[in-house]
Amino acid sequence: MTELRKRGGGGADPDSADNISDKEADGDDRLGLAGDAEGECDGDSKADTPDYPLATADTDNTPECLNKALEGLPPRWKNYWIRGVLSLAMISGFFLIIYMGPIALILVVMSVQIKCFQEIITIGYRVYHSYDLPWFRTLSWYFLICVNYFFYGETVADYFGALVQREEPLQFLARYHRFISFALYLAGFCMFVLSLVKKHYRLQFYMFAWTHVTLLIVVTQSHLVIQNLFEGMIWFIVPISIVICNDIMAYLFGFFFGRTPLIKLSPKKTWEGFIGGFFATVVFGFILAYLLSQFQCFVCPVGFNSESNSFTVECEPSDIFVMQEYTLPTVLQNTLRWKTVNLYPFAIHSIFLSSFGSLIGPFGGFFASGFKRAFKIKDFANTIPGHGGIMDRFDCQYLMATFTHVYIASFVRGPNPSKVLQQLLLLQPEQQLGIFHTLQSHLRDKGILPPAAVQAE
């Protein structure tokens, strides 16, 4: 940086002077990255003190009654009980929301998405705001609205086709949905270009990229959570519960037995917690999957009844939720003295979900830890005492949601007749009649329908 200033002092042309000013104004040290040397990541939580005031660093918003009840305990045990009590409260709230049904779950996912977006954007805004440049926060929220409009519009078109067909304004919005979404995004893009300020171009593009990466991490994956929910509440409940269980069990195993550090990004994570959490989570996921597979309200896809204008979860359970008999390998037969075992296929799927949630899912948390260390903050926010912000609790959930969505599409879900029917209903009558005759001929050729002459008799 000093060398750049010296070069700028000579008889440089105006363009080079502007470039030097840009580098001075937009340098990485102004973004809080100057001290991010390799050795700094090796430190403990003391290195997480921010260079600029962030409310996430040292603020204690633990309820006063809880502080008084635990005031005589050592800090380690006090934090243990605070985390435990708040974890039980959040789990109880999760069960209550499940009881309230799909609409409540969708609203909660949207609320969590907005809060996570706000926490990440606020970190960037605290750096960006010091330059008093226009529109960054406004444009960030505008892009959030645009992306949500696109994704939720796609969801409405896919799962609420009967409602769309019944309402003429919705037909127009569904037909031109992607064009409208692109036009909205284009308006925000133009607003960003118009907001560019000389000598701060690079910083503004940093923040533009910041917003879009946040949208990719938070909004896109929260949309996948809702997609999983529509496949059946079990695809929503089990993956989320797996991550919660792994988080709790890894913490408990690490708290009581942890000796060997796992990764430098998270000094408190241990191999004992990682391995113990894995085995506990696989067992928990298997048992939970077995129990929930017995209830129709959990295994049926969430649908929309156009007559009652309400969500429905009634169906004939698919094969993966029907009890099957499996022959055990010879080794297990000799050990357990069982030749066969009756299981729901979904319980077997849960082993793969649990393995991912335990072995790969924590890397979402490690990624978040690296992000926080880069900006010298302890937590994304201080929303939940002992836990940090909402994003601190959901960093692994988003990665798990993406895997679940990919897993369903790759190994579970087949063609969806309801979606095909919705597409057919959008066609012109002549096109529908042509498809009808083609399908009729195809079924006759396969012997499913009687020949035309027999049918006429």
Query: Is 246 within a domain?
Result: yes
C-alpha–C-alpha distance, residues 53 and 55, integer Å: 7
Instruction: List, for the chain, all residue ranges whose pLDDT scores fall below the cut of 70.
Output: 1-69, 127-132, 161-162, 306, 309, 386, 414-419, 422, 453-457
In whole angstroms, how far apart are CA 416 and each of 412, 413, 439? 12, 8, 17
Contact 235, 12 (CB under 8 A): no
Q: Which residues pair with 340 in a beta bridge?
A: 327
On whether residue 370 sits in a domain, the answer given is yes
Structure tokens belonging to residue 398: 């988003």
Give 364-394 pLDDT, tens digit per residue: 989 988 888 888 888 888 887 767 788 888 8
Token pair, residue 110, equals 């949207």
Q: Is position 218 within any domain?
A: no
φ/ψ of 135, rounded to 5, equals 75, 0
d(CA 23, CA 199): 8
Tally of domains within the chain: 1
Domain, as residue range, for 393:
232-412
Confirm whether 343 is domain-assigned: yes
pLDDT for the residue 264: 86
247 within domain boundaries: yes
Q: CB neighbours (10 Å) of residue 258?
A: 20
Is 307 among the domain residues?
yes
C-alpha span between 25 and 28 (Å, rounded)? 9
* pLDDT for 38: 37
Residue reference for tokens 């769309």: 164
> Residue 311 belongs to what H/E stretch?
strand 310-312
**Whole-angstrom distance, CA of residue 388 vs CA of residue 384:** 5
Residue 83: C-alpha distances to residues 88, 244, 256, 385 (Å): 9, 13, 15, 7
SS3 letters across 342-380: EECHHHHHHHHHHHHHHHCCHHHHHHHHHHHHHCCCCCC
386 in any annotated domain: yes
448 in a domain, yes or no? no
14-54 pLDDT, tens digit each: 444 444 444 434 444 444 443 333 333 343 333 333 444 44
| Total Cβ atoms within 10 A of residue 192 | 19
Whole-number pLDDT of residue 278: 96
Residue that has been written with the tokens 């042509």 in this structure: 434
Alpha helices in 160-258 (DSSP H): 161-166, 168-175, 177-195, 201-214, 221-230, 233-257
373 in Cβ contact with 48 (< 8 Å): yes
The secondary element (H helix, E strand) that includes residue 268 is strand 266-270
Query: What pLDDT is attached to residue 130?
Result: 52
